Structure 1
Amino acid sequence: MNKLISLLKEIGIERLAQKFSAAVVYAVFSSFALNFFYQPGHIYSSGATGFSQVISEIVVRVFGHDYLPISVTLVLVNVPLIILAWQKLGKQFTVYTVLTIAMSSIFIHFVPVTPLTHDPVTNAVFGGAIMGFGVGNAMKSGISSGGTDVVSLYIRKKTGRTVGRLAFIVNGCIVFVAGLLFGWEYMLYSLVGIFVSSRVQDAVFTRQKRLQVMIVTKNPDLVTEKLLEHGRHGITVLNNVEGAYSHEPQTVLLTVITMYEYQDFKELMEKYDPTAFVSISENVRVLGKFAEVTD
């Protein structure tokens, strides 16, 4: 308990309130998408939410009763992933993830399932658009909804490899089960929902968009240490740089991050070197291997 209190103090009330607000916004949109469109239309979401739908539906089919509602299943699915995140991805990241999962589960549980239309295509498109906006906004705020995000970040941290195939495999299994449970046409509708969700998510926030960062600092050792500790991308150091106006010695650090990492990078710089000059260029192209530094 003392460690948790210390961690919350380290995060700070203002930052925690910001993440809480973002988690609530995500929870509202995800619950609306799920209970107004996905569930009534038998449309399956992607990732942990879709997997929770699968488990809940199988329980209903086997036992004839909703013993495991989606809100509960979503928490259970994420428990081992939360433990993994706590041990391997960082305490603060885990706190934000738990916060997001908790808010999402609460809203999904208490927002009633309300059919707005019986057209499966409309359910897939509107549900996907709402879910995509919620996920994109959450990622833009620097929070994770758990699920495959945790596994993807862990694998990328350990191997330096992208894991787009993981989401493809998980989502493929989800829509395949949708076809088995409701009919193959609902496999198609679920694919439409996932596609729309991903397009809207990309429109709101592109997680793999690469940003070139140039940092002019008087504290290169501290900044480099913290960047490697949190972002773990390679950094190029240019020593003996002189400011044209002040003629004071400076150091320039060059690195490339993804948009998904931008919020953490911004908070890191504000905390450890608020006087540094930081220039960020979007839409950069990278030749060669863009990977994380591994232990």
Structure 2
Amino acid sequence: MKEIKDLFIENEYTEKISMAVINGMLQAVALNMFWQPGHIYASGVTGLGQIIVTLSEDLAQIQLPMSVVLYCLNIPLFILAWFKISKKFTVFTMISVFMTSFFIQIIPVTALSDDPIICAIFGGAICGLGVGLALRGGLSSGGLDIVSVTIRKMTGRNVGSLNIIFNACIIMTSGFLFGWPYAFYSAFSIFVNGKVVDMVFTRQKKMQIMIVTTKPDAVVNEVQKRIRRGITILNNAEGAFNHNQQTILITIITRDQIPVLQVAMRKSDPKAFVSISENVTIMGNFYEPLD
């Protein structure tokens, strides 16, 4: 079992594609089984797509497939990501959005509850779980994520206010067009969605790692091969029990990188002592991979 787990962690493409499939299924379940039947509007580009589909049915009597609308809305963003972020990031984002559109198309719209509060809670939670898992796998779910990453890469600034403003517009538009009670339900669902994403996606949680080892070169090489992190080396440490000479290595990683660290330690020095301090405060630059 360890070999299979290690292979899964080491094979980046397998993990990313698996997370894209899971994210697509969960987002489709949230949309087709809770949001659509409960007339709840999602955040971001998905919410915009819902408004377009609803208006096309009400005003033009044209039934547009939500899956097609969602993918088409993301196409300009794919182009932006291709030129401004990276080709690898864009390809996996395209796969992620395709899987979401695919499952939206094949999973029938089914009303599991007529209660809009239940639809808002479970729709937001299921979608948040999918997005959180995708982010943990290094994926983007498309939409405003691409715009946010582009601005962060170009300016170095986080732009959470962009999501807030866009989602506020979605909520206000849905309230104006389809009734204010559903605008409040939509806002509540977006809130639940964000909370679940924060619970699942732990990359923002920093961990200080202290490693006491007799094989510092092997550990440093193995860790840096798998995780792009600086490591501070403290030589000539002495154990109080047997007075052996050891080396202390100190680094900072994110919570989602702990499984990769475990693999690196098993391969380089299984007998090393590893101490982990949670939720440390970081000042200065800390590398955040974008793809």
Code of the aligned partner of 1:145: S
> Displacement, 1:84?
2.5
Of 41, 53, 77 in structure 1, the residue corresponding to residue 73 of structure 2 is: 77
Q: Does 2:47 match 1:50?
A: yes
CA distance, structure 1, for counterparts of residue 15 and residue 226 of structure 2 = 22
CA distance, structure 1, for counterparts of residue 80 and residue 87 of structure 2 = 11
Partner of 2:14: 17
Superposed, 1:52-67 pairs within 5 Å as 52-67=49-64
Code of the aligned partner of 2:155: T
> Displacement, 1:120?
1.2
> Displacement, 1:15?
3.5
CA distance, structure 1, for counterparts of residue 276 and residue 163 of structure 2 = 28
Partner of 1:144: 140
CA RMSD of aligned residues (A): 3.7
Code of the aligned partner of 1:110: I
Partner of 1:8: none
Identity over the aligned pairs, expressed in percent? 39
Counterpart contact for 2:222–2:268, Cα < 8 Å: no
Distance 1:252 1:63, change over 3 A: same
Counterpart contact for 1:156–1:292, Cα < 8 Å: no
> Displacement, 1:175?
0.9
Give the gaps of 5 or more residues in structure 2. Answer: 1-9
Moved more, 204-213 or 159-168: 204-213
Q: Does 2:79 match 1:101?
A: no
**1:199-255 deviation per Cα after TM superposition (whole angstroms, max 9, x unaligned):** 222222334222335689649799879977xx8xxx57558778989979x895744
Partner of 2:110: 114
Of 262, 269, 280 in structure 2, the residue corresponding to residue 285 of structure 1 is: 280
Moved more, 82-91 or 23-32: 82-91
Q: Does 2:160 match 1:160?
A: no
Counterpart contact for 1:82–1:98, Cα < 8 Å: yes
Partner of 1:30: 27
Give the gaps of 5 or more residues in structure 1. Answer: 1-12
> Displacement, 1:191?
0.9
CA distance, structure 1, for counterparts of residue 244 and residue 82 of structure 2 = 45
Partner of 2:188: 192
CA distance, structure 2, for counterparts of residue 48 and residue 26 of structure 1 = 16
CA distance, structure 2, for counterparts of residue 253 and residue 188 of structure 1 = 48
Number of equivalent positions: 271
Distance 1:281 1:177, change over 3 A: farther
Of 170, 174, 180 in structure 2, the residue corresponding to residue 174 of structure 1 is: 170
Q: Given the two structures, how large is their TM-score scaled by the length of structure 2?
A: 0.75
Code of the aligned partner of 1:56: V
Distance 1:280 1:193, change over 3 A: farther
